[in-house]
Amino acid sequence: MTNPFFEPSTLPYGMPPFADISEEHYRPAFEEGMAEQLAEVRNISGRSDLPSFENTMIPLEQSGQILDRVATVFFNKSSADSNDFTDELEEEIAPKLAAHSDAIKLDAELYRRIKAIHDSLAELDLDPESKYLVERYYIEFTVAGAGLDETEKEKLRDYNQRLSTLTTRFEKNLLADTNDLAVLIEDVTELDGLEPGEISAAAEAAKDRGLEGKYLVTLVLPTGHPFLSSLKNRDVRARIMAASRARGSRGGEWDNSQLVLEITKLRAERAALLGFDSHGAWVIADETAKNPANVAELLARLATPAAKNAREEQLDLEAIAGHPIEAHDWAFFSEKVRAAKYDVDEAAMRPYFEAETVLQNGVFFAATKLYGVTFTERSDIVAYHPEVRVFEVLNEDGSAVGLFTLDLYTRDSKHGGAWMNSLISQSALLEHPVIVTNNLNVPKPAAGEPTLLTYNEVNTFFHEFGHALHGLFARVEYPKFAGTNTYRDFVEFPSQVNEMWMLWPEVLANYGIHHRTGEPMPQEFVDKIQASSAFNEGFLTSEYLAAALLDQAWHALSAGTVVGDVAAFETAALDAAGLSNPAVPTRYSSTYFAHTFSGGYDAGYYSYIWSEVLDADTVEWFKENGGLTRENGDRFRERLLGVGGSKDPLEAFRHFRGRDADIQPLLDRRGLN
Ligand SMILES: [Zn+2]
């Protein structure tokens, strides 16, 4: 019996053969994949000839293809369609993968070869992408500890494996506690204010858990819940907010408090071993921000005006509510103020945001206008779940771009939030095509009901599709640089830019159509949205900055610093930043801050605002140059999106923009002047 991961897929675009993959294939493929890659790497490091680009870097980039195939499919499944099997295997495999990665990155002979090539780089006749590949490997191996002695490396391996186990457990606890804390509603009148589609989704969710006739409000990842803006019952709002904020901190088997303390302690110790003052200093050394001081400077510049704006917004809310505003009241009364001040009614907009129309006539339409690409559904290609749709993406001249797959709806087996990942990453060296996936968490309406998106969901749709385009348009030689494989504090930039097309008049006119009447969204809605664009930005910026500052605070700890209590640490960090307003809770508290404790954004949650500086300045550029045109799209695609990680991102930005980014457009956008 053959294992489908052992050979490259022969399906269109290299789509993994999902129909042939079953649970028993994963473990042997991981084992074989790690063994194969290790043998390949030993073949490089064991060579006796002089190190060269061809005998070292190329085979290194070609190594590990079985592992790449199985890991891509498995981690896609464990985030989008998990079950007990994936949970268990993930917990088992994560430390093994960490050890495997260490075995390569800490291979002294391999490092010696890379360093030798790096030291003679100026004399080598290599193209710029190849030179950059050497630079990147050299820095990554150095930062990873390849230069440590054997005893130190042994300690490092131990840290890496323990951390990998702890972060996996954090994620598992969070999913379990999130499902467990879903709020059960007995009587439909308590859901007064919700849309019929939302109520039927809640009824469906209850039924899925054998609670027919009741209603289940499932939690989303951030602190705020989309229902809080419309639920009239204050007590129900308070219950949802309390459940959301309790995640991971209730005691018992799913409590993440101890994990937070252990993870941050071990990260600080590991950084010290590697010669850095803190985990943050270590992480940011290999980012475009370079060091935590640069990050702190940007966050501090924004925190004071954001907190001040939030307090002013709060006074407006209290005036209309007639009572003090608590965290669970903010969204509800801000909707009322929005309605009063700008007369924008988000609920009235939803009939104009029917999901399929948003996809075809909005998200896809904008991409066609900008880049000439077209999308054709390929229902003959099997994806990883029956709900996933597959689209073939072609250039204007009919040449292939790749496949785009869309997994729109929420389900219990799917992790919260929205994200993009690749099922196969583009590389000329490996002759790989590209397949990208977008995952959203839109509640599924009852059969026969249309899927009407919220304003935020439409925005997320455009955002995630921006990541998808970044992956799809990659035209790089080396797999290391494909698409979104770039710096973490840069990778959100292209996706944020794509959000601009959501309200672009030509795009909105094309998709903002009432699902029943076929009438276009009234112009006054659009004008009001534009007029209210800085509305509530004090709150939004503050809750984001609070989370970003918490993430920095945890990772500014030096080795040996003892933190006794998670909640007290949070309060102190937010007080110090001037962001401790109880009505404006942090977007994530530590015990459910998946980005920083399991999601790979540790010391990196600042990245969103860091890359938004580039985003806001790029939006300005598009506006100055005529907006939605092929010429603009092609320039962005060629100079930025297609480059992936294959050159210094800030250099790519200069090539596109003609200069460094200016912060002013960001300050204007968020009303922080
Ligand atoms: Zn994103």
Which residue in the list 464, 492, 570, 612 is annotated as catalytic? 464
Give the torsion sign (CA, 400, 402, 403, 404).
negative
Percent of the chain clearing pLDDT 90 (strictly above): 89
Q: How far is the CA of 233 from the centre of ligand 1 (A)?
A: 33
Report the Cα 469 to chain-centroid distance in Å: 14
Give alpha helix (H) positions in 46-185.
58-62, 65-80, 84-105, 108-119, 128-144, 150-180
Dump pLDDT digits (tens) for 370-387: 999 999 999 999 999 999
Ion ligand 1 — residues with CB under 5 Å?
492, 495
pLDDT band at 327 (very low <50, low <70, confident <90, very high): very high
Side-chain-facing half-sphere of 489: CA atoms under 13 Å: 25
Q: Does the active-site annotation cover 171?
A: no
- Beta bridge partner(s), residue 438: 406, 420
> From the CA of 295, how far away is ligand 1's center (Å)?
19
pLDDT of residue 1: 61
Quote the ligand 1 centre to 491 CA distance (angstroms): 8
pLDDT at position 448 over 80: yes
Each residue's pLDDT tens digit, 46-57: 999 999 999 999
pLDDT score recorded for residue 344? 74
* Mean pLDDT of all residues in 123-152: 94
Closest CA to 622 of 435, 469, 494: 494
How many CA atoms within 13 Å lie on the side-chain side of 509? 5
Q: Give the model's pLDDT for residue 482.
A: 86
Q: How far is the CA of 114 from the centre of ligand 1 (A)?
A: 32
Given a cut of 80, whether residue 556 has pLDDT beyond it is yes
Q: Which residues contact 316 (CB under 8 A, 6 or more apart)?
A: 337, 341
In this prediction, residue 313 carries a pLDDT of 94
Q: Report pLDDT digits (tens) over 233-276.
A: 999 999 999 999 999 999 999 999 999 999 999 999 999 999 99
Average per-residue pLDDT for the chain: 95
Q: Ligand 1: distance of its center to the CA of 500 in Å?
A: 14
Determine contact, residues 214/186, Cβ cutoff 8 Å: yes
CA of 64 to the centre of ligand 1 (A): 27
Q: How confident is the model at residue 122 (pLDDT cuts 50, 70, 90)?
A: very high
| R_g of the chain computed on alpha carbons | 25
What DSSP element (H or E) covers 389?
strand 389-394
Q: Is 167 helix (H, G, I), strand (E, B) or coil?
A: helix
CB contact at 8 A, 484 and 420: yes
CA 191 to ligand 1 center in whole angstroms? 31
Ligand 1 center from residue 639 Cα (angstroms): 20
Ligand 1 centroid–CA 493 distance in Å is: 8
- Name the pLDDT band for 179 (thresholds 50, 70, 90): very high
Q: Quick one: pLDDT at residue 599? A: 82
Rounded Cα distance between 245 and 327, Å, is 10
